[in-house]
């Protein structure tokens, strides 16, 4: 048994407790103690001093495409269609497993450094992504995202590949990997194809992950193609009868928010990507008010351009105040829940992730609070959301294992990943 | 003469040049060379290796109240009136010079750490602020902000105090301190008082700095009190005939933007504070399109809640895309200019600050690009704006002097400032 002592423990439990001079004990991958630092530490084989540190749950990033970090900074500030058709797709079309491997490696390094302990990934070459998750010690919720713009034979092949991946990796890496099935979006998969993927997800008992209502144009296209907006479209297809995590959900009517609440559809809110791609601002205060589970996500580094979820944490807390002219919406503690508790719910692991509580997984991070921007030592939750930064993280622990200790990466070689990512990027025809 | 070699030099000059394997030489406080790393370095008494670093102009923060860092995290997520009247003002009313001293100290530390080399400050106890600027080696553009809610005698006393400060400190600290005169806002100063302050600014030949059109309520109040909106009000008072920097300018009509352009009024854009206080989103693309000089600023840590201008840099580049549904507005290079070149113009020092060019002041920063989020090594300007973070800054140089070297502060004692800020904060009645 190990214990971290003398820390400011931000539990994000139901009572939103902050414990000063707090401690968290853990045995293997599980939390065994959360409370004041005990006087008697003799039961613990290792005592880690958390003086001047905040200790909190690791953040959970509920939507992304880590392989795309290979395209960070390759194309910005372009209209979406041009960005996709002239820049992203021609490059991604050349990606091999090796490209995805190194894109994943730099992404995992960045997430470990900035305090993310679980990430959702929807992409191709997912065996490679899963291998990197396994080797790095991270926790992942992974799915092979399938696009139906191809022959029927290829579609069935992709579906089988996605199902095979979901079966082979679910529960792997000591339970650190969960899987999902993923029709990419209503505008890239036909209704029939979505239903086939849904049926497979039901058969395999894994959730669905899908992009939905990201842009105005997408909603208009859906109405033109199918006579209804994306929410009704997916509802009609039976998708929402199954556990589902939708990414974006930017353009919603009041009735659509009611529908998401009714079916307990989980939402991944990507505020930076939504702004950068000019998609708009999701109606987060309205969703939260109606009890929709809204979590935070980065999307990919091609539209962000990093995976530092602390940026989303702050932006989610301030953006909706500004656009609604209401300073009371999305208060700091609610934003923090969106990156932790609610995110654990969004990946269907609320009983084991998302807060520091006895019996939950030992996924946690420490922040260096001995810095000017953490003072005066007022409300730690305010400081985490509004003043802190991902690079304040000193220690990242997943499943009881240190992946970063005192800023040193334990499982990943950053310089090698940097060298390799530049090497494989240079191999692409631009 | 000193020289930094082997760096990726982001000049932010008129041609927006990026120089790979670049170097910047400087002699005392002035830049003497910008170009490729020379073969012969024998002329330089000190050679600093910039391998794997970006070298760029220090950022310029054009609006804030550094003393208010003492109230960081003290009150958040409240309606503006309640936040001000129940939280901020009762605390600020108790501030002595000692409170402002330590609030200023932690602010300067934070700015040095996150790559700001010049900051504008409008507050009280300005002698204390100026002394901290002098001692720290920072560059400051400082003004005693005056509020007219008091007796005529007190108003005249404040005006004299502001003028005395402006005279005594202008050009001090080897020219690192410039001064301005500052009527706080049209809603806190009568027209007569604003004109008296303006006359004094003309007499002393220093610019004016004023809050303007921050919230809808303020604009409506101005119309009710004076029959015109704030821009026409200040234009009518003759303010814009004098060099003026306005903070916020969130709520503007097309005609008002034309007016700001016509008089070359400088704007400090505070996107984080404007969102957090639910003031709204300034019409930055429209201002830029009409040639208004728009710069970036943090406002105070009470409404931000930090002074990390890299956060504004990214937010300015993405926010306006999202709310206008146009991914081409405020491209990365334009956002970077808002934090450097345009900001230098906004503080009326465009000939000496804001870019790395021979003859300009040696105010510059280095960023550690040997990190995952700087790779692949694509467009460095994209990486600085969209992927980087203020805590990537390793070295901060002002007037040719290192204020931070390899992450070590040279002129400031961070632990002492943290201890003192908590001590003086505890002395306040909450």
User: pLDDT for B246-274, tens place per residue?
Assistant: 999 999 999 999 999 999 999 999 999 99
Beta carbons of A60 and A354 less than 8 angstroms apart: yes
ipTM above threshold 0.90: yes
Structure tokens at B338: 């808002």
- Pick from B70, B372, B387: CB nearest A417: B372
The secondary element (H helix, E strand) that includes residue A108 is: helix A97-113
Query: How far is A392 from A313, CA to CA, in rounded Å?
Result: 14
Question: Given a cut of 90, is residue A76 above it in pLDDT?
Answer: yes
As a whole number, mean pLDDT of residues A116-136 equals 98
Does the residue A392 lie in any domain? yes
Q: Measured between alpha carbons, how far apart are the two ends of chain A, in Å? A: 52
**Domains held by chain A: number:** 2
> Interior CA angle at B124 toward B118 and B129, to 5°?
40
Does the residue A423 lie in any domain? no
Does the residue A101 lie in any domain? yes
Phi, psi of A356 (to 5 degrees): -95, 100
Question: Given a cut of 90, is residue B81 above it in pLDDT?
Answer: no
Domain-terminating residue out of A318, A347, A376: A347
Give the model confidence (pLDDT) of A171-217 as tens digits: 999 999 999 999 999 999 999 999 999 999 999 999 999 999 999 99
- Sequence-ordered alpha helix ranges (H) in B280-406: 284-289, 309-324, 332-338, 341-346, 380-382
Which pLDDT band holds residue A430 (cuts at 50, 70, 90)? confident
Number of H helices, E strands in chain B: 16, 18
- Pick from B78, B279, B389: CB nearest A391: B389
As a whole number, mean pLDDT of residues A335-341 equals 98
Does the residue B423 lie in any domain? no
DSSP letter for B397, please: E
Residue A184 known to bind ligand? yes
Residue B184 known to bind ligand? yes
Domain-terminating residue out of A294, A325, A347: A347
As a whole number, mean pLDDT of residues B177-202 equals 98
Question: Given a cut of 90, is residue B231 above it in pLDDT?
Answer: yes
Give the model confidence (pLDDT) of A11-68 as tens digits: 999 999 999 999 999 999 999 999 999 999 999 999 999 999 999 999 999 999 999 9
| Angle, helices B97-113/B414-426, rounded to nearest 10 degrees | 140
Beta carbons of A232 and A263 less than 8 angstroms apart: no
Does the residue B417 lie in any domain? no
Do B322 and B391 have their domain in common?
A: no
Give the model confidence (pLDDT) of B2-14 as tens digits: 999 999 999 999 9
Q: Alpha-carbon torsion A347, A351, A355, A356, what sign?
A: negative
Give the model confidence (pLDDT) of B369-422 as tens digits: 999 999 999 999 999 999 999 999 999 999 999 999 999 999 999 999 999 999
- SS3 labels along A392-426: HEEEEEECCEEEEECCEECCCCHHHHHHHHHHHHH
Residue from B348, B331, B352 nearest B264 by CA? B348
Beta carbons of A378 and A101 less than 8 angstroms apart: no
Helix (H, G, I), strand (E, B) or coil at B67: helix
Do B35 and B90 have their domain in common?
A: no
As a whole number, mean pLDDT of residues B185-190 equals 97
Q: What is the rounded average pLDDT for all residues in chain A?
A: 97
The secondary element (H helix, E strand) that includes residue B419 is: helix B414-426
Structure tokens at B125: 């106890």
As a whole number, mean pLDDT of residues A327-342 equals 98
Residue from B137, B282, B128 nearest B219 by CA? B282
Beta carbons of A120 and A141 less than 8 angstroms apart: yes
Does the residue B428 lie in any domain? no
Do B170 and B117 have their domain in common?
A: yes
Query: In chain A, whose CA is at the least distance from the CA of B271?
Result: A322
Question: How many residue contacts between A and B have a Cβ separation below 8 Å?
Answer: 214
Number of residues in chain B: 430
Residue from B379, B271, B263 nearest A74 by CA? B379
Do B320 and B394 have their domain in common?
A: no
Q: How is A340-388 classified by DSSP, letter by letter? A: THHHHHHTT-TTTSSS--TTSB--EEEEE--SGGG-S---HHHIIIII-
Does the residue A301 lie in any domain? yes
Phi, psi of A261 (to 5 degrees): -65, -45
Q: What stretches of B42-164 adopt beta strand conformation (E)?
A: 46-49, 53-57, 59-61, 116-123, 139-146
> Interior CA angle at A60 toward A56 and A62, to 5°?
165
Which pLDDT band holds residue B84 (cuts at 50, 70, 90)? confident
Question: Given a cut of 90, is residue A358 above it in pLDDT?
Answer: yes
Domain-terminating residue out of B347, B377, B395: B347
Residue to mutate among A376, A394, A412, A420, with most B CBs inside 10 A, is A376
Chain A: closest CA distance from residue B415 (Å): 8
Does the residue B252 lie in any domain? yes
Do B64 and B144 have their domain in common?
A: yes
Question: Given a cut of 90, is residue B367 above it in pLDDT?
Answer: yes
Phi, psi of A54 (to 5 degrees): -90, 140
> Any idea what the CATH number is for the domain that residue B25 is in?
2.30.40.10
The domain in which residue A403 lies consists of 2-57+360-409
Question: Given a cut of 90, is residue A80 above it in pLDDT?
Answer: no
Which pLDDT band holds residue A84 (cuts at 50, 70, 90)? confident
State whether B387 and A417 contact (CB < 8 Å). no
Give the model confidence (pLDDT) of B93-110 as tens digits: 999 999 999 999 999 999
Do A53 and A157 have their domain in common?
A: no
Query: In chain B, whose CA is at the least distance from the CA of A311?
Result: B311
As a whole number, mean pLDDT of residues B233-248 equals 98
Number of residues in chain A: 430
As a whole number, mean pLDDT of residues B224-228 equals 98
Do A248 and A372 have their domain in common?
A: no
Contacts (Cβ under 8 Å, ≥6 apart) of A284: A269, A294, A316, A320, A329, A330
Chain A: closest CA distance from residue B34 (Å): 25
- Sequence-ordered alpha helix ranges (H) in A181-331: 191-204, 216-226, 230-236, 254-262, 271-276, 284-289, 309-324
Q: Alpha-carbon torsion A286, A292, A297, A303, what sign?
A: negative
As a whole number, mean pLDDT of residues A2-18 equals 98
Query: How far is A350 from A333, CA to CA, in rounded Å?
Result: 17
Question: Given a cut of 90, is residue A418 above it in pLDDT?
Answer: yes
- Pick from A76, A377, A390: CB nearest B422: A377
As a whole number, mean pLDDT of residues A127-153 equals 97
Give the model confidence (pLDDT) of B285-294 as tens digits: 999 999 999 9
Do A282 and A376 have their domain in common?
A: no
- Pick from B332, B376, B417: CB nearest A372: B417
Do B234 and B320 have their domain in common?
A: yes
Query: In chain B, whose CA is at the least distance from the CA of A280?
Result: B322
pTM, to two decimals: 0.98
Do A238 and A375 have their domain in common?
A: no
Number of neighbours of residue A253 by Cβ within 10 angstroms: 14
Do B53 and B73 have their domain in common?
A: no
Question: Given a cut of 90, is residue A81 above it in pLDDT?
Answer: no
Residue A178 known to bind ligand? no
10 Å CB burial of residue B327 (0-12, 13-18, 19+) is buried
Residue to mutate among B52, B322, B334, B380, with most A CBs inside 10 A, is B322
Structure tokens at A64: 């992304």
Give the model confidence (pLDDT) of A253-286 as tens digits: 999 999 999 999 999 999 999 999 999 999 999 9
Do A33 and A73 have their domain in common?
A: no
The pLDDT > 90 percentage for chain B reads: 98
Cis amide bond preceding B376, omega within 30: yes
Contacts (Cβ under 8 Å, ≥6 apart) of B75: B83, B86, B87, B88, B302
DSSP letter for B315, please: H
Give the model confidence (pLDDT) of B123-149 as tens digits: 999 999 999 999 999 999 999 999 999
Residue from A67, A124, A134 nearest A101 by CA? A67
Residue to mutate among B54, B68, B77, with most A CBs inside 10 A, is B77
Residue B155 known to bind ligand? yes
Residue from A175, A178, A85 nearest A126 by CA? A178
> Any idea what the CATH number is for the domain that residue B158 is in?
3.20.20.140
């Amino acid at each position: 048994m190990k214990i971290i002592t003398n820390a400011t423990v931000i539990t994000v439990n139901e009572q939103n407790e902050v414990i000063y001079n707090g401690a968290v004990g853990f045995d293997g991958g599980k939390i065994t103690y959360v409370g004041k630092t005990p006087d008697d530490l003799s039961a613990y084989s290792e005592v880690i001093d958390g003086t001047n540190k905040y200790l909190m749950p690791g953040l959970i990033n509920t939507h992304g495409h880590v392989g795309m970090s290979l395209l960070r900074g390759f194309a910005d500030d372009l209209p979406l269609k041009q960005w996709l058709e002239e820049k992203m797709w021609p490059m991604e079309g050349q990606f091999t497993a090796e490209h995805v491997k190194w894109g994943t490696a730099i992404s995992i390094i960045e997430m470990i450094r900035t305090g993310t302990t679980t990430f959702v990934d929807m992409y191709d070459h997912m065996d490679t992504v899963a291998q990197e998750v396994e080797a790095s010690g991270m926790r992942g919720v992974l799915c092979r995202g399938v696009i139906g713009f191809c022959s029927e034979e290829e579609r069935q092949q992709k579906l089988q590949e996605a199902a095979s991946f979901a079966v082979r990796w679910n529960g792997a890496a000591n339970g650190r990997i969960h899987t999902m099935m993923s029709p990419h979006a209503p505008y890239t998969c036909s209704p029939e194809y979505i239903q086939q993927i849904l049926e497979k997800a039901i058969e395999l008992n894994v959730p669905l992950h899908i992009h939905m209502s990201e842009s105005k144009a997408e909603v208009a296209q859906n109405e033109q193609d199918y006579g209804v907006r994306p929410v009704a479209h997916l509802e009609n297809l039976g998708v929402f009868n199954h556990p589902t995590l939708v990414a974006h959900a930017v353009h919603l009517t009041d009735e659509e928010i009611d529908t998401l609440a009714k079916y307990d559809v989980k939402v991944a809110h990507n505020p930076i990507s939504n702004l950068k791609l000019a998609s708009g601002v999701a109606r987060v205060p309205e969703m939260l008010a109606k009890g929709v589970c809204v979590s935070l996500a980065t999307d990919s580094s091609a539209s962000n351009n990093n995976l530092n979820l602390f940026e989303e944490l702050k932006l989610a807390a301030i953006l909706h105040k500004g656009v609604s002219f209401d300073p009371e919406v999305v208060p700091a503690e609610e934003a923090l829940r969106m990156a932790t508790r609610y995110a654990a719910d969004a990946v269907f692991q609320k009983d084991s992730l998302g807060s520091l509580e006895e019996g939950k997984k030992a996924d946690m991070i420490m922040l260096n609070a001995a810095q000017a921007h953490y003072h005066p030592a007022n409300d730690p939750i305010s400081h985490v959301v509004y003043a802190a930064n991902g690079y304040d993280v000193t220690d990242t622990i997943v499943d009881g294992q240190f992946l970063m200790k005192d800023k040193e990466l334990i499982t990943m070689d950053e310089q090698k990943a940097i060298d390799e990512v530049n090497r494989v990027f240079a191999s692409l025809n631009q």
